[in-house]
Copies of this chain bind each other. A is one copy, B any other.
Amino acid sequence: MKESKYILLDHGSGGLATQKLVSDIFLPFLKNQFLEKLEDSAELDLAHGRIAFTTDTYVVDPIFFPGGDIGSLAVYGTVNDLSVKGAKPLYISLALILEEGLELDVLKKIIESIARAAEHCNVKVVTGDTKVVPKGKADKIFINTSGVGLLSKFSFSPLNIKVGDVVIVSGTLGDHGVTILTQREGLSMDCDLKSDSQPLHELTSALIEKLGDNVHAMRDPTRGGLATCLCEMANAANVEIELDESSLPIRKEVEAACEVLGLDPLYLANEGKAVFFVDKDYAQQALEIIKNFSIGKEARIIGQVISEENPRVLLKTLIGGKRVIEPLSGEPLPRIC
C-alpha cells in the first residue's frame, strides 16, 4: 500500500487502509483494554445498571482555535452532558467523518488532543468508527462522541426546580462563542480571547457529594447560550426566573468583541460552564464549593426562581428596567460547536 500524507477514500473502506489508520494513529494514543479488542461493540461492566447516555456531534469551524480544538471539545462536551445529569462519565465512543485529502498530521494532532482530554476526564474511548467521504462532501473532520456515565442516587432535572431556588453560573459567559466567531471573521482582537472548552465533571461531582439533591438542576449552556438554556429550563420547570444583569460574569474582552460584532454574550455558546439551580439555604455553600475550583473562580449568583406562574426568564437590567429574555431565534451562528 502506498504511503500517503493525506486521508484517502481507501482509509474508509473497512479494509487494510482502515486497519492501518487504526493501528498507526488511533491505537497509539487511545489504546485501552476495551478499545484494543477492535470489536464492533465494547463490553462494559458497570457497577450497576443506572446509566446516563448522551450523544453530540461536533462540526466546529475552525477545527483549531484559541483554547482548544475539535478533538478536546468533542470529549469535554460529552463529558459535560453526562456531568450535569449528575453522572460520573466513564466511557465514550468516537465516530469520525473525514474528508478525503485531510492531512494525516492534522488527524494525528486531533486524536492526540482527544487522548489528552479523555485522560484529563478519566474517561476511556471504548469503541469507534471512521468514515471517509470524497473531497467536498464534508469539511475536514466531523466528530461524534456518545457517552455512558454512572448515575448517582440523586436525580437532577428542571422538574426539581422550586420557587426560591438560586441560580448560579460557574464562570464567565460567551467565551467560546465569541472566540470562534472572531476567528472565523479573521478579526485579530488584541487580547487574550479564548474558548472556555473544559470539563465540568469534578465541579459537579464535588457539588453532588457535598450538597446531594439540594442542588436541584444543572445544565451546561452551550449552543444558544445562557439565555436559551434558561428559557428551556423555565419552560420545563414551569417557573419564572429573574436574572440580575449586573451580576452576570462577562469578560471585558468578550464584551468588547461582542460590541464590535453586534452579538449578545447571553446567546453565545459556552463549552465549560454550568448553571445550577440550588435550594436557597444551600446557595452560599454551593458558591463556595464552586469557587474552590480553578474553573469556578468567577462563579456568581445571577438570579432566582421567583414564581410558579409565568414560565419565562426576566432580566433586571443595569438601568433598573425588566425585560423578557427569549430563546435564540433568527440569527444563525453556524458551526459554533
CB atoms of A329 and B1 under 8 A apart: yes
Q: A57 near B: Cβ within 8 Å? A: yes
Looking at the complex, which one of B14, B94, B228, B334 makes contact with A223 (CB distance below 8 Å)?
B14
Tell me which of A45-53, A62-70, A279-287, A293-301 binds B.
Answer: A45-53
Q: A174 near B: Cβ within 8 Å? A: no
Q: A39 near B: Cβ within 8 Å? A: yes
A329→B44 CA distance, assembly (Å)? 32
CB atoms of B15 and A56 under 8 A apart: no
Given contacts A54-B127, A144-B55, contact A85 B43 (CB under 8 A): yes
CB atoms of B85 and A332 under 8 A apart: no
CB atoms of A10 and B133 under 8 A apart: no
Q: Shortest CB–CB separation between residue A52 and chain B, in angstroms?
A: 4
Q: A5 near B: Cβ within 8 Å? A: no
Q: Shortest CB–CB separation between residue A19 and chain B, in angstroms?
A: 7
Q: A84 near B: Cβ within 8 Å? A: yes
Beta-carbon contacts under 8 Å, A83-119 to B: 84-85, 87, 91, 93-97, 100
Q: A251 near B: Cβ within 8 Å? A: no
CB atoms of A44 and B50 under 8 A apart: yes
CB atoms of A95 and B41 under 8 A apart: no
A106→B223 CA distance, assembly (Å)? 25
Looking at the complex, which one of B17, B53, B219, B334 makes contact with A127 (CB distance below 8 Å)?
B53
Residues of B within 8 A of A84 (CB): 40
Q: A138 near B: Cβ within 8 Å? A: yes
A131→B58 CA distance, assembly (Å)? 8
Interface band, chain A: 35 or more
Query: A19-B327, A57-B96, A138-B138 given. 11 additional CB < 8 A pairs?
Result: A1-B329, A16-B329, A38-B236, A39-B85, A48-B49, A55-B129, A57-B131, A58-B131, A137-B335, A138-B139, A146-B146
Given contacts A85-B40, A332-B12, contact A46 B55 (CB under 8 A): no
Beta-carbon contacts under 8 Å, A312-337 to B: 326-335
Residue of B nearest to A15 (CB): B328
Q: A220 near B: Cβ within 8 Å? A: yes
Tell me which of A147-155, A187-195, A241-249 binds B.
Answer: A147-155
Q: Shortest CB–CB separation between residue A54 and chain B, in angstroms?
A: 4
Looking at the complex, which one of B51, B100, B224 makes contact with A44 (CB distance below 8 Å)?
B51
Q: A132 near B: Cβ within 8 Å? A: yes
